[in-house]
């Protein structure tokens, strides 16, 4: 009987983990959803969900030098685990562009870390690269309003990146405890 209970618990935990791990994701594509705002205008809002959320854009797509600024909120029951560059196509002889993290620290968005990207950074999780001292020190980042800015040095540089959001660590634990409680109740009934 213990084997059957252990097997049922393993199935319950595995199905809970699988359903959370592949939960919905959102996509923001400048070609479909419109041009992203600049830093001066404040971020274009992006409703991220638990899962892998993707952003596709081109800085300076109208031939001008501009910045793309997208903002998102990590809710109280979520954690931000990664911002991964998935593609970068330079143009105009320039091989890199600025890639910055912003956060609303209580008085509006402020730049909290910066760097630059080039084609060699595809696949890099920038939460492992940026200095995160102002927003908790290291990933995963907790609840708050965050933003990513791409600031190009030449027009028409295409990019994409993923924003990975997971349930906050305590949320999975509580859900798992609920499953265990149901199994124990069933066993005693």
- Spatial distance between the Cα atoms of 70 and 86, rounded to a whole number of angstroms: 16
Q: What CATH number does domain 27-167 carry, 1.20.120.450, 3.60.15.10, 3.40.50.620, 2.60.120.380? A: 2.60.120.380
Helix, coil or strand: residue 36: coil
Tell me the HSE value of 95 on the side-chain side, using a 13 A CA sphere. 5
Domain parsing of the chain, residue ranges:
27-167
Q: What is the mean pLDDT of residues 83-112?
A: 92
Q: What is the mean pLDDT of residues 127-146?
A: 95
Sheet order of strands, 78-89 included? 27-29, 51-59, 157-167, 78-89
Torsion of CA 17, 25, 127, 42, to 10 degrees: -150
Query: Which of 13-22, 136-145, 176-185 is predicted with the least confidence, judged by mean pLDDT?
Result: 13-22
Torsion of CA 129, 135, 136, 141, to 10 degrees: -70
Task: Tell me what percent of the residues of the chain surpass a pLDDT of 70.
Answer: 74
Report the relative pairing of strands 27-29 and 51-59 from DSSP bridges: parallel
- Tell me which range, 87-91, 121-125, 172-176, is most confidently predicted by mean pLDDT: 121-125
Q: Is 106 left (phi over 0), alpha (psi -120 to 50) or beta?
A: left
- Tell me which range, 33-42, 87-96, 113-122, 149-158, is most confidently predicted by mean pLDDT: 113-122
Q: What is the residue-averaged pLDDT of the chain?
A: 81
Task: Tell me what percent of the residues of the chain surpass a pLDDT of 90.
Answer: 58
Q: What is the mean pLDDT of residues 39-60?
A: 93
Identify the pLDDT of residue 137: 92
Identify the pLDDT of residue 69: 95
Q: pTM of the prediction? A: 0.78
Compute the 3-state secondary structure of the chain and give helix, strand, coil in percent, each to the nearest 5: 30, 40, 30
Q: What is the mean pLDDT of residues 150-174?
A: 83
């Amino acid at each position: 009987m213990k084997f059957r209970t252990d097997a049922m618990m393993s199935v319950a935990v595995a199905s809970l983990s699988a359903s959370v791990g592949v939960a919905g994701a959102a996509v923001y594509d400048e070609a479909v959803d419109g041009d992203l705002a600049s830093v001066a205008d404040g971020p274009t809002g992006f409703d991220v969900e638990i899962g892998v959320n993707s952003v596709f854009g081109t800085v300076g797509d109208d031939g001008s030098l501009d910045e793309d600024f997208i903002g998102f909120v990590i809710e109280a029951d979520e954690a931000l685990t990664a911002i991964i560059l998935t593609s970068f196509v330079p143009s105009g002889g320039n091989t890199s562009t600025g890639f910055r993290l912003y956060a609303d620290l209580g008085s509006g968005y402020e730049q909290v870390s910066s760097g630059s990207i080039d084609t060699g950074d595809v696949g890099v999780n920038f939460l492992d690269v940026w200095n995160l001292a102002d927003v908790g020190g290291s990933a995963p980042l907790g609840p708050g309003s965050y933003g990513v800015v791409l600031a190009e040095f030449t027009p028409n540089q295409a990019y994409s990146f993923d924003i990975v959001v997971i349930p906050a660590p305590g949320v999975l634990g509580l859900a798992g405890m609920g499953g265990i409680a149901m199994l124990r109740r069933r066993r005693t009934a």
